[in-house]
Amino acid sequence: MKGNALIKNAPQVVTCSGTKAKQGKEMSDLHIITDGAVLIEDGIIKTVGKTNDIISQYSEDVLERFDGTDSSDKAPDIIDATGKCVMPGFVDPHTHFIFGGYRPEEFSWRLRGESYMEIMQRGGGILSTVNETRKASKEELINAGKKRLDAMLSFGVTTVEGKSGYGLDRPTEIRQLEVMQELNEEHPLDIVSTFLGAHAVPPEYKGKADAFIDHMIHEVMPEVVGRGIAEFCDVFCEKNVFSIEQSRTLLSKAKVMGMKLKLHADEIVQMGGAELAAELGAVSADHLLQASDKGIKEMAEAGVVATLLPGTAFSLKEPYARARHMIDQNCAVALATDLNPGSCFTESIPLIFALATLYMDITTEEAITALTLNAAAAIDRANTVGSIDPGKQGDLVILEFPSYHYVPYHIGVSTVEKVIKKGNLVFDKLDPSLNWELLI
């Protein structure tokens, strides 16, 4: 793909400009350019500004490419965004999109009053998906993962984090990470992989959580690190899953081995997961429904991104994380779908926008920052994606409306008309025949 594009005449180019997470009040600053344009060359943003200014600053030979007279491979695709808002591609920094099987019956059980942890304790939940994922072939996982990535793309996601954790043994954990690695090479979306071997205690280690952590550290993690198939290490730090001390042991060893850290923290019970994230210098702590005031303060001071997952709270009918309090305490807040087969089976970015703005007391501007630049920071990508800045990847979405205000306002419905990845048009709602596979 040539990766050259000129997007012009946009009533708003919402740049979300920056190269690191925005904390507190900074999250409201979207850096908007009116009557804007973006020029992308070789997949990288070359410049962004007023349409007339961008066109006028280039020499005559470059201008030939703008009027379509240049038929070379370097000629840019010219997209007239009149009446349409241009924004950074969305980043989804917390998903479990590689898995086998589904758990629709558990949704019905929860509707009848059973809790997530009750279902998990009797062999459902994560362990149910572990059984199905262990049985799935690599080809089956690749095909299912590709469909989910295509759905994410249609919602404007251009970079996604994916976790293992549905194997809880060496062969399946490795297979999940290999699948993500292969999909990263063939699919337009960039995939950032996380090793979540400590997602639950498998039946063969029941009552022996310490031994399971030791197994992950000594038998699985060295291969993950040695092969470079995961960048992050994560752990489900939760009552009746993995304790603070077990989580500290695993993550400390991962850090020594060169991995970056994440935590499933304080989701169901307040255990001090937020405090542990700050102590260890984690890139992000996720969920945080029960995070303490102390933990939130320490995360803000340590620069740990608070990745909030409103779709999960919605699906489990739990209170939402205290997003307003976190932002007011100068935290950097990100949002994510938590796509998984149990507690939140959705790829819907519009749903996350709606829940965050309507039920978490987040402004529209803060929500956009949380799903672009701060989401990129939550996977240590704020220097390359998450904003429309020169030098970053040319990852953009073009809305079918003239303003970013339409994103949460059109409740639960995608406002994304086009998606541009590294300067190439890879999704167009107006052209259902467009197939990104034909472009590579």
Does the pLDDT at position 123 exceed 80?
no
> pLDDT class for 106, splitting at 50, 70, 90?
confident
Cross-strand pairs, 424: 421
For the segment 100-115, the average pLDDT, to the nearest whole number, is 88
| pLDDT at 60 (0 to 100) | 46
In a domain, 330, yes or no: yes
**Tens digit of each residue's pLDDT (9 = 90 or more) over 337-350:** 999 999 999 999 99
- Say if residue 103 is in the same domain as residue 83: no
Domain that holds residue 420: 5-88+387-438
Other CB atoms within a 10 A radius of the CB of residue 339 amount to 24
In a domain, 267, yes or no: yes
- Say if residue 115 is in the same domain as residue 50: no
- Say if residue 304 is in the same domain as residue 339: yes
| pLDDT at 62 (0 to 100) | 53
- Residue 1 or 29, more confident: 29
In a domain, 258, yes or no: yes
| Domain end point (choices 348, 377, 406) | 377
- If one counts the domains in the chain, the total is 2
In a domain, 294, yes or no: yes
Does the pLDDT at position 409 exceed 50?
yes
For the segment 134-159, the average pLDDT, to the nearest whole number, is 98
Contacts of 416 (CB under 8 A, 6+ apart): 154, 155, 156, 397, 398, 399, 400, 427, 429
| pLDDT at 64 (0 to 100) | 58
In a domain, 314, yes or no: yes
Q: Per-residue DSSP letters for 376-438? A: HHTTT-TTTSSS--TTSB--EEEESSSSTTHHHHSTTS--EEEEEETTEEEEETT-TT--GGG
**Tens digit of each residue's pLDDT (9 = 90 or more) over 298-311:** 999 999 999 999 99
| pLDDT at 76 (0 to 100) | 75
For the segment 361-376, the average pLDDT, to the nearest whole number, is 98
| pLDDT at 57 (0 to 100) | 76
| pLDDT at 71 (0 to 100) | 55
Does the pLDDT at position 61 exceed 50?
no
Give the containing element (helix H, strand E) for 117.
helix 116-121
> pLDDT class for 439, splitting at 50, 70, 90?
low
- Say if residue 300 is in the same domain as residue 368: yes
- Say if residue 296 is in the same domain as residue 423: no
- Residue 315 or 58, more confident: 315
- Say if residue 248 is in the same domain as residue 264: yes
- Say if residue 189 is in the same domain as residue 281: yes
**Residue 323 contacts residue 298 (beta carbons within 8 Å):** no
Between strands 85-88 and 77-80, the pairing is: unpaired
| CATH number assigned to the domain comprising residue 19 | 2.30.40.10
The percent of residues in the chain predicted with pLDDT above 70, rounded, is: 94
| pLDDT at 77 (0 to 100) | 86
Instruction: Say which range, 21-30, 54-63, 284-293, 334-343, has the weakest mean pLDDT.
Output: 54-63
| pLDDT at 124 (0 to 100) | 77
- Say if residue 112 is in the same domain as residue 250: yes
**Tens digit of each residue's pLDDT (9 = 90 or more) over 187-221:** 999 999 999 999 999 999 999 999 999 999 999 99
| Domain end point (choices 377, 396, 428) | 377
Between strands 260-265 and 232-237, the pairing is: parallel
For the segment 327-343, the average pLDDT, to the nearest whole number, is 97
- Say if residue 111 is in the same domain as residue 240: yes
C-alpha span between 177 and 133 (Å, rounded): 12
| pLDDT at 375 (0 to 100) | 99
- Say if residue 142 is in the same domain as residue 253: yes
CA-CA-CA-CA torsion sign (344, 345, 347, 350)? negative
C-alpha span between 37 and 80 (Å, rounded): 9
- Say if residue 340 is in the same domain as residue 198: yes
Which structure tokens are listed for 323?
A: 């997003």
| pLDDT at 346 (0 to 100) | 97
In a domain, 382, yes or no: no
In a domain, 125, yes or no: yes
Does the pLDDT at position 296 exceed 70?
yes
- Say if residue 124 is in the same domain as residue 111: yes
| Domain end point (choices 377, 411, 429) | 377
| pLDDT at 336 (0 to 100) | 98
| CATH number assigned to the domain comprising residue 135 | 3.20.20.140
In a domain, 223, yes or no: yes
Does the pLDDT at position 8 exceed 60?
yes
